[in-house]
Amino acid sequence: MRADRLVAVLLLMQSRGRVTAAELAEELEVSVATARRDLEALAAAGIPVYPQPGRGGGWSLVGGARTDLSGLSAAEAQALFLLVGPAAAVSGEAKTALRKLVRALPQSFRADAEAAAGATMIDPTRWGERDRRRPEMVGLLQSAVVRRRKVRLTYAGKARQRTERLVDPWGLVDKDEIWYLLAGTERGQRTFRVDRIIEAEPTDEPTDRPDDFTLAAAWQEVVGEMEERRSRTWATVLIEPRFVRILRTHFGRHCHTEGDLEDGRARVRLAAPTPLDIARNLAGWGTMIEVVEPRSVQAELARIGTELAGRYTELDTPAKPAVLKR
C-alpha cells in the first residue's frame, strides 16, 4: 500500500539523514522510478523534504524534521495507547503498530504508555460463540477506499433481489458488529451493508469524492435518518417501574419515562418503525404491560393474541412432565 511506503520513506530519511532513490528502492523492494515518485509526492504534499543534486546527493528532511511522537505530552501518550491497546488484542496489525509506537515515544513515557495499552482489551465474541473474525470483504473494500478506486458491487437488497452497480467507496463503519460501506453512486450517497455484498470487484478507475466529505459527518447523517425511521410510531404504555430498564434494553433511546401514576405503575413512551414492531416486542409481556395508545398498536396486540389463542386452544390441559425411570 502506498501510504505504508510513504511512512517508511519518512522514517528511513529520519534515521539516515539523507537517502537516494536507489537506496529507497532497494530497502522497500520497489523500482527506482517508484521510489522517486514517492519522494516527489511527499514534497508535493508539503512534507519538508528536498533533493540535493550532484555527487553524494540525495533527499533529506529540511532542518532535521522528525516524524516521531516526541511532541506528545505524557497524558496524550497514555490516551493514545488506551485507544490502541484494546485493538491490539484482536488484530495482529494493531499489535505490530503498537510496538512501533512504543519505540517512537520518548523513554520517559514508555512505561506509562505500555501500562495503558495493557489496561483494557476487547473480546468481540459473545458467550457460547466461536471466535469471530472481521469479514474478508471489509479488507478488500478498505483497500479500495484507501487507494481511491471504484468498485463494482453485486448487492442483495432487503427483498434479496440482486443488483450490480459501480460505486465510489468513501468509507467503512463498524456499527455494533455490522459493517457498512458509505459510497457515492449515480443517485448520490448510499449506504450498503457489507454482509449483503455478494461480490466486490475493484477497478482501476479513480474515485469521485466530494472535497468536503468527512466520514464522521456523513455517518451522523445516516444515523439521524435511521433513527427517524425507527421512531415513526410512538406508543404510551404502563408498567411496573422495576421493568422499565428492560424496556430500555429493547428500545434504547426510543424509551422515555414520563413519571409514575398513583397506582405505582410507570408511564413510558416507546417508539419503533411500525405499530407491528412495537406489538411484537410487547406481546410477550401479556397483561404485565398496558398499552394506553395508539389504537393501531392495541389492534396489532389483539391480532397476535387471537392468532396464538387459535393455534393453542386445544391445549387446555398442560402436558404432564415426563418422568425418568431409574
User: Domain for residue 51, yes or no?
Assistant: yes
Domain that holds residue 291: 231-312
CA distance 26 to 16: 15
User: Domain for residue 107, yes or no?
Assistant: no
What pLDDT, on a 0 to 100 scale, did the predictor assign at position 304? 95
User: Domain for residue 74, yes or no?
Assistant: no
Q: If you average pLDDT over every residue of the chain, what do you get?
A: 79
User: Domain for residue 120, yes or no?
Assistant: no
Structurally, how many domains does the chain consist of? 3
Whole-number Cα distances in Å, 226 to 191, 223, 229, 253: 11, 5, 5, 13
Report which of residues 52 and 140 the model is more confident about. 140
What pLDDT, on a 0 to 100 scale, did the predictor assign at position 1? 39
Can you give the CATH number for the domain in which 189 is found?
2.30.30
Can you give the CATH number for the domain in which 295 is found?
3.30.70
Q: Does residue 235 share a domain with residue 177? A: no
Type of residue found at 191: T
Secondary structure of 296-320 in HEC code, one letter for each residue: HHHHHHHHHHHHHHHHHCCCCCCCC
User: Domain for residue 76, yes or no?
Assistant: no
- Quote the pTM value: 0.54
Q: Are 170 and 215 in contact (CB under 8 A)?
A: yes
Q: Does residue 250 share a domain with residue 182? A: no
User: Domain for residue 54, yes or no?
Assistant: yes
If one counts every other C-beta atom within 10 angstroms of the C-beta of residue 101, the result is: 19
Can you give the CATH number for the domain in which 13 is found?
1.10.10.10
- From 10, 33, 64, give the residue that closes a domain: 64
Question: What are 92-130's pLDDT values in tens digits?
Answer: 666 666 566 666 655 655 666 666 666 655 555 666 666
- From 164, 184, 213, give the residue that closes a domain: 213
User: Worst-scoring range by mean pLDDT, 46-55, 163-172, 210-219, 299-308?
Assistant: 46-55
Report which of residues 135 and 298 the model is more confident about. 298
Q: Does residue 245 share a domain with residue 193? A: no
Q: Does residue 200 share a domain with residue 147? A: yes
- From 21, 36, 64, give the residue that closes a domain: 64
Q: Does residue 287 share a domain with residue 238? A: yes
User: Domain for residue 116, yes or no?
Assistant: no
User: Worst-scoring range by mean pLDDT, 123-132, 208-217, 229-238?
Assistant: 123-132
User: Domain for residue 86, yes or no?
Assistant: no
